[in-house]
Amino acid sequence: MFTGIITDLGTVRRVVKDRDTRFEFKTSYDTQTIGIGASIACCGCCLTVVETGADWFAVEVSGETLSKTTLAGWREGTSVNFERALKVGDELGGHIVSGHVDGVATLIASTPDGDSRRLTFEVPESLQLFIAPKGSVAIDGVSLTINEVEGRRFGVNIIPHTQAVTTLGRLRSGDHVNMEIDMLARYVARLLQKE
């Protein structure tokens, strides 16, 4: 479990494609404190650490994950948002995030809004019912509040701090992002389907 509060902005340092794909990430985390088998959210995807080095860690990714996320397009040098798994007693600064990506959204527009930026995303049709004004969403692992919704599109504001310390400040129209809907919305929709 995670909170959607990014604690490191790293990069892909190496990609090895075999039966599964291995990503090695450069990080500012103290990798001596990262155990093998630990979960780290990488742009919102909960991935398992399989090896660490002095300033890097490695994960292995299945074809299923590559087909449902933006990871298939990651190359050496790609910027990646990191969040370590939540510990009991940690501050819940964002919202509960599972690290299970529900789909890929597309950035439609990025416009200035004071010192902030207003980002407008379009989601797959299968996810539009889970998006609600003032609800939560995780975009590339970042916990955000939805401002408005119109059909398959929704808008969020990104403050200067978030622009500087996450990948969201680098997004351009047409870019794809990993999206996780709010966990509560997922379960409410499932309960309503049973009626």
Same domain, 73 and 112: no
Same domain, 186 and 107: yes
How far apart are the C-alpha atoms of 7 and 28, rounded to whole Å?
A: 9
Residue 168: domain span:
103-194
Rounded to an integer, the average pLDDT of 144-150 is 96
Same domain, 163 and 107: yes
* pLDDT tier for residue 173 given thresholds of 50, 70 and 90: very high
Burial class from Cβ neighbours inside 10 Å (0-12, 13-18, 19+) for residue 24 reads buried
pLDDT beyond 70 at 28:
yes
Q: Are 46 and 101 in contact (CB under 8 A)?
A: no
User: What pLDDT, in 10s, does the model give residues 82-141?
Assistant: 999 998 888 878 888 999 999 999 999 999 999 999 999 999 999 998 999 999 999 999
Same domain, 184 and 157: yes
Phi, psi of 90 (to 5 degrees): -70, 155
Q: What is the pLDDT of residue 140?
A: 98
* pLDDT tier for residue 68 given thresholds of 50, 70 and 90: very high
Last residue of a domain, one of 34, 51, 84: 84
* pLDDT tier for residue 53 given thresholds of 50, 70 and 90: very high
Query: Which 3 state secondary structure label does DSSP give 27?
Result: coil
| Closest CA relative to residue 169, chosen from 147, 139, 145 | 139
Same domain, 79 and 114: no
Q: How many domains does the chain have?
A: 2
Examine residue 168 and state whether it is found in any structural domain, yes or no.
Answer: yes
Examine residue 187 and state whether it is found in any structural domain, yes or no.
Answer: yes
How far apart are the C-alpha atoms of 113 and 76, rounded to whole Å?
A: 32
* pLDDT tier for residue 34 given thresholds of 50, 70 and 90: very high
More confident residue, 94 or 74: 74
Same domain, 189 and 108: yes
Examine residue 170 and state whether it is found in any structural domain, yes or no.
Answer: yes
Same domain, 71 and 115: no
Rounded to an integer, the average pLDDT of 173-180 is 98
pLDDT beyond 80 at 185:
no
Examine residue 3 and state whether it is found in any structural domain, yes or no.
Answer: no
Q: Which single residue is written with the structure tokens 């990430």?
A: 25
Same domain, 122 and 77: no
Examine residue 166 and state whether it is found in any structural domain, yes or no.
Answer: yes
CATH number, domain containing residue 15: 2.40.30.20
What residues contact 165, with CB distance under 8 A and at least 6 apart? 6, 9
Q: What is the pLDDT of residue 160?
A: 97
Q: What is the pLDDT of residue 194?
A: 63
Same domain, 74 and 45: yes
Examine residue 90 and state whether it is found in any structural domain, yes or no.
Answer: no
Q: Are 177 and 158 in contact (CB under 8 A)?
A: no
Last residue of a domain, one of 57, 84, 111: 84
Q: What is the pLDDT of residue 195?
A: 57
pLDDT beyond 60 at 145:
yes
Rounded to an integer, the average pLDDT of 152-169 is 97
Same domain, 72 and 125: no
- Joined together, the tokens standing for residue 193 give 């389907």
Examine residue 2 and state whether it is found in any structural domain, yes or no.
Answer: no
Same domain, 126 and 47: no
Nearest 5°: CA angle at 177, between 160 and 147? 55
